[in-house]
Protein backbone atom coordinates (compact mmCIF):
# COMPACT_ATOMS: atom_id res chain seq x y z
CA UNK A 1 0.00 0.00 0.00
CA UNK A 2 1.55 3.31 -1.04
CA UNK A 3 2.28 5.56 1.88
CA UNK A 4 0.56 8.91 2.31
CA UNK A 5 2.35 11.58 4.34
CA UNK A 6 1.63 15.16 5.33
CA UNK A 7 4.33 17.84 5.32
CA UNK A 8 4.38 21.65 5.19
CA UNK A 9 4.18 23.24 1.75
CA UNK A 10 7.69 24.21 0.67
CA UNK A 11 7.67 27.71 -0.86
CA UNK A 12 11.16 27.08 -2.28
CA UNK A 13 10.11 23.99 -4.24
CA UNK A 14 8.74 24.84 -7.68
CA UNK A 15 7.34 21.31 -7.84
CA UNK A 16 5.17 21.93 -4.77
CA UNK A 17 3.67 25.06 -6.29
CA UNK A 18 3.06 23.36 -9.66
CA UNK A 19 1.42 20.37 -8.01
CA UNK A 20 -0.93 22.52 -5.91
CA UNK A 21 -2.06 24.48 -8.96
CA UNK A 22 -2.57 21.29 -10.97
CA UNK A 23 -4.64 19.67 -8.21
CA UNK A 24 -6.71 22.86 -7.83
CA UNK A 25 -7.80 22.55 -11.48
CA UNK A 26 -8.23 18.77 -11.47
CA UNK A 27 -10.65 19.02 -8.51
CA UNK A 28 -12.16 22.43 -9.26
CA UNK A 29 -15.58 21.44 -10.59
CA UNK A 30 -17.50 20.33 -7.48
CA UNK A 31 -14.65 17.94 -6.73
CA UNK A 32 -14.19 16.83 -10.34
CA UNK A 33 -11.84 17.87 -13.13
CA UNK A 34 -12.40 21.50 -14.18
CA UNK A 35 -9.76 21.56 -16.92
CA UNK A 36 -12.29 21.79 -19.76
CA UNK A 37 -14.19 24.61 -18.06
CA UNK A 38 -11.26 27.02 -17.85
CA UNK A 39 -9.22 27.86 -20.94
CA UNK A 40 -7.07 29.92 -18.57
CA UNK A 41 -6.61 27.83 -15.41
CA UNK A 42 -5.67 30.97 -13.50
CA UNK A 43 -9.38 31.80 -13.28
CA UNK A 44 -9.35 29.05 -10.65
CA UNK A 45 -5.80 29.05 -9.35
CA UNK A 46 -5.56 32.82 -8.87
CA UNK A 47 -8.66 32.62 -6.70
CA UNK A 48 -8.31 29.34 -4.80
CA UNK A 49 -4.63 28.35 -4.75
CA UNK A 50 -1.88 30.83 -5.59
CA UNK A 51 -3.01 33.63 -3.25
CA UNK A 52 -2.86 31.20 -0.30
CA UNK A 53 0.64 30.06 -1.28
CA UNK A 54 1.77 33.68 -1.73
CA UNK A 55 -0.02 35.39 1.15
CA UNK A 56 -0.17 32.59 3.76
CA UNK A 57 2.56 30.05 2.86
CA UNK A 58 2.88 28.95 6.47
CA UNK A 59 -0.73 27.78 6.51
CA UNK A 60 -0.40 25.32 3.64
CA UNK A 61 0.35 21.60 3.91
CA UNK A 62 0.66 18.96 1.22
CA UNK A 63 -0.04 15.24 1.13
CA UNK A 64 2.52 13.09 -0.66
CA UNK A 65 2.37 9.52 -1.88
CA UNK A 66 5.58 7.53 -1.41
CA UNK A 67 6.99 6.94 -4.88
CA UNK A 68 8.68 3.73 -3.79
CA UNK A 69 5.41 2.00 -2.95
CA UNK A 70 5.52 2.41 0.80
CA UNK A 71 8.79 0.74 1.71
CA UNK A 72 10.22 4.08 2.71
CA UNK A 73 12.81 4.19 -0.06
CA UNK A 74 13.11 7.55 -1.71
CA UNK A 75 11.02 9.19 0.97
CA UNK A 76 12.15 12.45 2.54
CA UNK A 77 15.40 12.24 0.62
CA UNK A 78 15.09 15.86 -0.29
CA UNK A 79 17.90 17.16 -2.39
CA UNK A 80 19.00 20.74 -2.06
CA UNK A 81 20.69 21.91 -5.22
CA UNK A 82 20.96 25.47 -3.97
CA UNK A 83 18.12 26.58 -6.20
CA UNK A 84 15.44 25.29 -3.85
CA UNK A 85 14.56 21.92 -2.44
CA UNK A 86 13.37 19.09 -4.65
CA UNK A 87 10.98 16.60 -3.15
CA UNK A 88 10.95 13.11 -4.55
CA UNK A 89 7.48 11.95 -3.54
CA UNK A 90 4.68 13.38 -5.68
CA UNK A 91 2.27 15.82 -4.08
CA UNK A 92 -1.26 14.40 -4.36
CA UNK A 93 -3.22 16.85 -2.22
CA UNK A 94 -3.20 19.92 -0.03
CA UNK A 95 -4.94 21.99 2.56
CA UNK A 96 -4.66 25.77 2.25
CA UNK A 97 -5.69 27.98 5.13
CA UNK A 98 -6.23 31.62 5.93
CA UNK A 99 -6.33 32.15 9.70
CA UNK A 100 -8.03 35.55 9.49
CA UNK A 101 -10.47 35.68 6.59
CA UNK A 102 -11.22 39.40 6.93
CA UNK A 103 -7.53 40.30 6.74
CA UNK A 104 -6.92 37.77 3.97
CA UNK A 105 -9.72 39.21 1.82
CA UNK A 106 -8.24 42.69 2.13
CA UNK A 107 -4.78 41.44 1.15
CA UNK A 108 -6.25 39.39 -1.70
CA UNK A 109 -7.97 42.48 -3.11
CA UNK A 110 -4.59 44.20 -3.39
CA UNK A 111 -2.65 41.17 -4.65
CA UNK A 112 -1.74 41.46 -8.36
CA UNK A 113 -2.81 38.48 -10.46
CA UNK A 114 -4.36 37.53 -13.79
CA UNK A 115 -7.73 38.69 -12.46
CA UNK A 116 -9.05 42.11 -13.32
CA UNK A 117 -9.38 44.60 -10.45
CA UNK A 118 -13.15 44.12 -10.63
CA UNK A 119 -12.82 40.33 -10.39
CA UNK A 120 -10.44 40.71 -7.46
CA UNK A 121 -12.79 43.01 -5.61
CA UNK A 122 -15.75 40.72 -6.24
CA UNK A 123 -13.88 37.62 -5.05
CA UNK A 124 -12.61 39.42 -1.95
CA UNK A 125 -16.15 40.55 -1.13
CA UNK A 126 -17.44 37.00 -1.59
CA UNK A 127 -14.99 35.82 1.08
CA UNK A 128 -16.58 38.07 3.68
CA UNK A 129 -19.27 35.68 4.87
CA UNK A 130 -21.00 36.55 8.14
CA UNK A 131 -19.74 33.20 9.49
CA UNK A 132 -16.21 34.64 9.64
CA UNK A 133 -17.03 36.42 12.90
CA UNK A 134 -17.47 33.17 14.86
CA UNK A 135 -15.25 31.10 12.54
CA UNK A 136 -12.48 33.50 11.44
CA UNK A 137 -10.31 31.06 9.51
CA UNK A 138 -11.23 29.35 6.25
CA UNK A 139 -9.73 26.52 4.24
CA UNK A 140 -9.54 24.81 0.87
CA UNK A 141 -8.71 21.11 0.69
CA UNK A 142 -8.27 18.95 -2.41
CA UNK A 143 -6.84 15.53 -3.16
CA UNK A 144 -6.30 13.82 -6.49
CA UNK A 145 -8.64 10.86 -7.04
CA UNK A 146 -5.90 8.32 -6.37
CA UNK A 147 -5.31 9.80 -2.92
CA UNK A 148 -8.94 10.06 -1.86
CA UNK A 149 -10.64 7.85 0.69
CA UNK A 150 -7.46 6.88 2.54
CA UNK A 151 -7.52 9.26 5.48
CA UNK A 152 -5.34 12.00 3.99
CA UNK A 153 -8.21 14.50 4.02
CA UNK A 154 -8.84 13.88 7.69
CA UNK A 155 -5.10 14.20 8.45
CA UNK A 156 -4.78 17.45 6.50
CA UNK A 157 -7.78 18.99 8.29
CA UNK A 158 -6.38 17.90 11.67
CA UNK A 159 -2.98 19.42 10.87
CA UNK A 160 -4.57 22.78 10.09
CA UNK A 161 -6.96 22.60 13.07
CA UNK A 162 -4.10 21.87 15.49
CA UNK A 163 -2.12 24.90 14.27
CA UNK A 164 -5.15 27.20 14.39
CA UNK A 165 -6.01 26.06 17.92
CA UNK A 166 -2.42 26.63 18.99
CA UNK A 167 -2.73 30.21 17.73
CA UNK A 168 -6.05 30.59 19.60
CA UNK A 169 -8.10 30.99 16.43
CA UNK A 170 -11.62 30.19 17.70
CA UNK A 171 -13.15 28.71 14.57
CA UNK A 172 -12.80 27.61 10.96
CA UNK A 173 -15.30 27.72 8.10
CA UNK A 174 -15.49 26.65 4.47
CA UNK A 175 -17.85 26.68 1.53
CA UNK A 176 -18.86 23.62 -0.52
CA UNK A 177 -20.65 23.31 -3.84
CA UNK A 178 -23.92 21.52 -2.97
CA UNK A 179 -23.35 19.19 -5.95
CA UNK A 180 -20.22 17.88 -4.21
CA UNK A 181 -21.81 14.99 -2.30
CA UNK A 182 -18.46 13.50 -1.32
CA UNK A 183 -17.26 16.69 0.32
CA UNK A 184 -20.60 17.24 2.07
CA UNK A 185 -20.24 13.78 3.65
CA UNK A 186 -16.56 14.33 4.43
CA UNK A 187 -16.90 17.59 6.39
CA UNK A 188 -19.59 16.23 8.71
CA UNK A 189 -17.33 13.19 9.37
CA UNK A 190 -14.37 15.38 10.34
CA UNK A 191 -16.02 17.65 12.87
CA UNK A 192 -17.77 20.36 10.85
CA UNK A 193 -21.41 21.42 11.17
CA UNK A 194 -23.55 22.70 8.33
CA UNK A 195 -24.26 26.35 9.20
CA UNK A 196 -26.14 27.62 6.16
CA UNK A 197 -27.25 26.50 2.71
CA UNK A 198 -28.08 28.48 -0.43
CA UNK A 199 -28.76 27.06 -3.91
CA UNK A 200 -25.07 27.27 -4.82
CA UNK A 201 -23.19 27.08 -1.53
CA UNK A 202 -23.16 25.15 1.71
CA UNK A 203 -21.27 26.80 4.57
CA UNK A 204 -19.68 24.55 7.19
CA UNK A 205 -18.07 25.61 10.45
CA UNK A 206 -16.04 24.08 13.24
CA UNK A 207 -15.33 25.78 16.55
CA UNK A 208 -11.82 25.23 17.90
CA UNK A 209 -11.06 24.82 21.55
CA UNK A 210 -8.03 26.45 23.14
CA UNK A 211 -4.88 24.38 22.86
CA UNK A 212 -4.21 22.48 26.07
CA UNK A 213 -0.43 22.07 26.43
CA UNK A 214 0.68 18.74 27.81
CA UNK A 215 -2.70 17.04 27.52
CA UNK A 216 -2.97 14.42 24.81
CA UNK A 217 -6.43 13.54 23.55
CA UNK A 218 -7.51 10.03 24.43
C1 LIG B 1 -13.30 15.67 0.02
C2 LIG B 1 -11.90 15.19 0.30
C3 LIG B 1 -11.01 16.35 0.74
C4 LIG B 1 -11.95 14.15 1.45
O5 LIG B 1 -10.65 13.68 1.72
P6 LIG B 1 -10.40 12.11 1.79
O7 LIG B 1 -8.98 11.86 2.10
O8 LIG B 1 -10.94 11.50 0.55
O9 LIG B 1 -11.30 11.68 3.04
P10 LIG B 1 -10.83 10.72 4.25
O11 LIG B 1 -10.34 9.43 3.68
O12 LIG B 1 -9.91 11.44 5.16
O13 LIG B 1 -12.22 10.46 4.96
C14 LIG B 1 -12.59 11.03 6.23
C15 LIG B 1 -14.03 10.65 6.51
O16 LIG B 1 -14.89 11.24 5.51
C17 LIG B 1 -15.63 10.24 4.84
N18 LIG B 1 -15.66 10.52 3.42
C19 LIG B 1 -14.65 11.00 2.67
N20 LIG B 1 -15.03 11.10 1.38
C21 LIG B 1 -16.30 10.64 1.33
C22 LIG B 1 -17.24 10.46 0.27
N23 LIG B 1 -16.92 10.77 -0.98
N24 LIG B 1 -18.46 9.97 0.58
C25 LIG B 1 -18.78 9.63 1.86
N26 LIG B 1 -17.93 9.77 2.90
C27 LIG B 1 -16.71 10.27 2.63
C28 LIG B 1 -14.83 8.96 5.05
O29 LIG B 1 -15.67 7.82 4.98
C30 LIG B 1 -14.26 9.15 6.42
O31 LIG B 1 -15.24 8.85 7.39
P32 LIG B 1 -14.86 7.99 8.70
O33 LIG B 1 -13.43 8.32 9.04
O34 LIG B 1 -15.80 8.49 9.72
O35 LIG B 1 -15.03 6.59 8.30
C36 LIG B 1 -11.27 14.49 -0.93
O37 LIG B 1 -12.02 13.35 -1.26
C38 LIG B 1 -11.16 15.39 -2.14
O39 LIG B 1 -10.21 16.13 -2.26
N40 LIG B 1 -12.13 15.34 -3.08
C41 LIG B 1 -12.07 16.09 -4.33
C42 LIG B 1 -11.95 17.58 -4.14
C43 LIG B 1 -12.99 18.14 -3.21
O44 LIG B 1 -14.16 17.82 -3.29
N45 LIG B 1 -12.53 19.00 -2.30
C46 LIG B 1 -13.41 19.70 -1.37
C47 LIG B 1 -13.96 20.93 -2.02
S48 LIG B 1 -14.96 21.87 -0.88
**Is-above-0.85 flag for pTM?**
yes
Pair 24, 62: CB distance under 8 Å? no
Mean pLDDT value across the chain: 92
Question: What is the rounded distance in angstroms from the CA atom of residue 51 to the CA atom of residue 6?
Answer: 21
Q: Which atom of ligand 1 is nearest to the CA of 27?
A: 42
* Ligand 1 close to Cβ of residue 145 (< 6 A): no
Q: Which atom of ligand 1 is nearest to the CA of 154?
A: 12
Question: What is the rounded distance in angstroms from the CA atom of residue 92 to the CA atom of residue 72?
Answer: 17
Ligand 1 centroid to Cα of residue 119, in Å, is 30
Is the pLDDT at 2 greater than 70? The verdict is yes
Is 148 exposed, middle or buried (CB count within 10 Å of its CB: 0-12, 13-18, 19+)? Answer: middle
Per-residue pLDDT, averaged over 31-39, amounts to 97
Pair 70, 1: CB distance under 8 Å? yes
Ligand 1 centroid to Cα of residue 182, in Å, is 6
pLDDT at 70: 46
* Ligand 1 close to Cβ of residue 30 (< 6 A): no
Query: Which helix (H) or strand (E) segment is 5 a member of?
Result: strand 4-8
The DSSP line for 14-75 is HHHHHHHHHHHHHTTBTTB--GGG-SSTHHHHHHHTHHHHHH-GGGEEEEEE-TTSSSSTTT
Question: What is the rounded distance in angstroms from the CA atom of residue 120 to the CA atom of residue 151?
Answer: 34
pLDDT band, very low/low/confident/very high, at 72 (cuts 50, 70, 90): very low
Could you give phi then psi for residue 44, rounded to 5 degrees? -90, -50
Nearest CA to ligand 1 atom 7: 153
* Ligand 1 close to Cβ of residue 153 (< 6 A): yes
Closest by CA position to 161, among listed 91, 201, 217, 102: 217
Could you give phi then psi for residue 48, rounded to 5 degrees? -110, -5
List pLDDT tens digits, range 74-133: 444 455 445 566 798 999 999 999 999 999 999 999 999 999 999 999 999 999 999 999
Q: Which atom of ligand 1 is nearest to the CA of 182?
A: 23
Nearest CA to ligand 1 atom 48: 176
* Ligand 1 close to Cβ of residue 27 (< 6 A): yes
Closest by CA position to 11, among listed 45, 56, 75: 56
Question: What is the rounded distance in angstroms from the CA atom of residue 28 to the CA atom of residue 177?
Answer: 10
* Ligand 1 close to Cβ of residue 141 (< 6 A): yes
List pLDDT tens digits, range 144-173: 999 999 999 999 999 999 999 999 999 999
List pLDDT tens digits, range 166-194: 999 999 999 999 999 999 999 999 999 99
List pLDDT tens digits, range 197-218: 999 999 999 999 875 666 655 5
pLDDT at 73: 47
pLDDT at 75: 47
Q: Which atom of ligand 1 is nearest to the CA of 30?
A: 44
Amino acid sequence: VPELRIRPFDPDAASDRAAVLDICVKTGDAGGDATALHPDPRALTDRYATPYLELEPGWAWVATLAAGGGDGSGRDEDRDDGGGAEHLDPVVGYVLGAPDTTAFAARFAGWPSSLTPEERTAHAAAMLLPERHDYPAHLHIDLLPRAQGRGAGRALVQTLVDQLAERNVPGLHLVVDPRNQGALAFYTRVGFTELRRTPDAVVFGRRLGPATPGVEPG
